[in-house]
Amino acid sequence: MQNALSVVVDSLPYLLQGSFLTAGIVVFAMFLGLFIGIFMSVGLVYGNRYIRNILTVYVWIFRGVPVVVLLFLFYFGLFSFLGLNFSAFATVSIVLGMTTGAYQANIFKGAILSLPQGQFKAASALGMSDIQAIKSIVLPQILRLSIPAWSNEYSIILKDSALAFVIGAPEIMARTQFVASRTYQHLSLYITAGIIYFLLTWAGVIGLRKLEQYVRIPGYSQHGNQ
């Protein structure tokens, strides 16, 4: 017991260093996903048949193939095939970003479809172009509506980032496994890793809830419209 505790204490700075990398992966992936998701959702709702079909295929690929398979496929396959020399960190961030992008596209699509259609009509009637209406009227509202679903996505991506260890990115999971395999203190070390992940999830979800309240439209209740 003595030994277990001292191993955890000694290795904690080393493990926490990994949490910076984990946080980096999650932040990069979430913002890449946001970027992909916004453009895709607009295409899925307002695009013509060809655009919608292409985007739907993208969604199905990233929804249907496991993240681990995608990691190996991109890191050992696709990137070297294309002659790109991306680090494990970059690969994980991109793969997770593209994956969450597919899910975020559906989140935003649902939010766009839930907006009263009349607002877009009113914007058009005032002479605004479709792009102006999307930018000034649709996006500001759907991003607000999407924060709860977005924070789910955040916790999923945070936990999926642990898969980065399979291609050797030195994040929390990889470091924990490294220490555990040398000290044999599996129980205490994985509990510690679990707690670190839990705290990161908790902090992010609380932060997003604060953001949701901060950007809330006055007069609307927290739970849907009116």
Partner 1 sequence: MMTDKKPILRVKNITKSFGDVTILNSVSIELAKGDIKILIGPSGGGKSTFLQCINCLVMPDSGEIELDNERIQFTRKQDIYRLRQEVGMIFQDFNLFDHLTALGNITVPLRKVKKMSKKEAEQRARLELEQVGLSDKESLYPAQLSGGQKQRVAIARALAMDPKILLLDEPTSALDPTLIGEVINVIKGLAVKGMTMIMATHQISLIHNLADEILFMEDGRIVEQGPPDALLAAGNKSKSQGFCDLLNELSEVEG
Residues that bind partner 1 (CB under 8 A): 116, 118-119, 121-129, 132, 136-137, 140-141, 144, 217-220, 225-226
Work out how close the CB of 118 gets to partner 1 at its nearest, in angstroms, rounded to a whole number.
Answer: 4
Nearer to partner 1, 29 or 45 (CB): 45
**Buried (b) or exposed (e) across 127-152, using 16+ Cβ within 10 A?**
ebeeeebbeebbbebbeebbbebbbe
Work out how close the CB of 143 gets to partner 1 at its nearest, in angstroms, rounded to a whole number.
Answer: 10
Nearer to partner 1, 137 or 200 (CB): 137
Count CB neighbours of 159 within 10 A: 16
Work out how close the CB of 123 gets to partner 1 at its nearest, in angstroms, rounded to a whole number.
Answer: 7
Which one, of 5, 2, 22, 8, lies nearest residue 198 by Cα?
22
The identity of residue 33, as a single letter, is G
CB 175 within 8 A of CB 17: yes
Question: What gap in Å lies between CA 68 and CA 193, rounded to an integer?
Answer: 20
Question: What gap in Å lies between CA 169 and CA 163, rounded to an integer?
Answer: 9
Work out how close the CB of 114 gets to partner 1 at its nearest, in angstroms, rounded to a whole number.
Answer: 12
Nearer to partner 1, 103 or 120 (CB): 120
Nearer to partner 1, 83 or 219 (CB): 219
